[in-house]
Amino acid sequence: MIYTTTKEQTIEEIYEERFKRWEKMGVSVESIRKANLPKTLNGKLPKGTKIIIPALKTGK
């Protein structure tokens, strides 16, 4: 999934606000960072930045 930032935020803020509920399915700040290599996701990301959210684990 591709997520586009709607305001200036850090990756940690985006995770807490949007994706923390997916933690049980394997989505974490670290998995988001790894999915976006070599893009650096440090500091505040400008509005409109596109980041990859890794696929969820389905338990199958």
pLDDT tens sequence for the chain (60 residues):
999 999 999 999 999 999 999 888 889 999 999 999 887 788 899 999 999 999 766 655
* Gap between the terminal Cα atoms of the chain: 20
Quick check: is 11 in a domain?
Answer: yes
Domain that holds residue 29: 2-52
Quick check: is 46 in a domain?
Answer: yes
Quick check: is 12 in a domain?
Answer: yes
DSSP string, the chain: -EEE-SSSB-HHHHIIIIIGGGGGGT--HHHHHHHTTTS---SPBPTT-EEE-PPPP---
Quick check: is 58 in a domain?
Answer: no
- Cα–Cα dist 44/47, whole Å: 9
What pLDDT, on a 0 to 100 scale, did the predictor assign at position 26?
Answer: 87
What pLDDT, on a 0 to 100 scale, did the predictor assign at position 57?
Answer: 65
Quick check: is 59 in a domain?
Answer: no
In one-letter notation, the amino acid at residue 28 is S
The domain tally of the chain equals 1
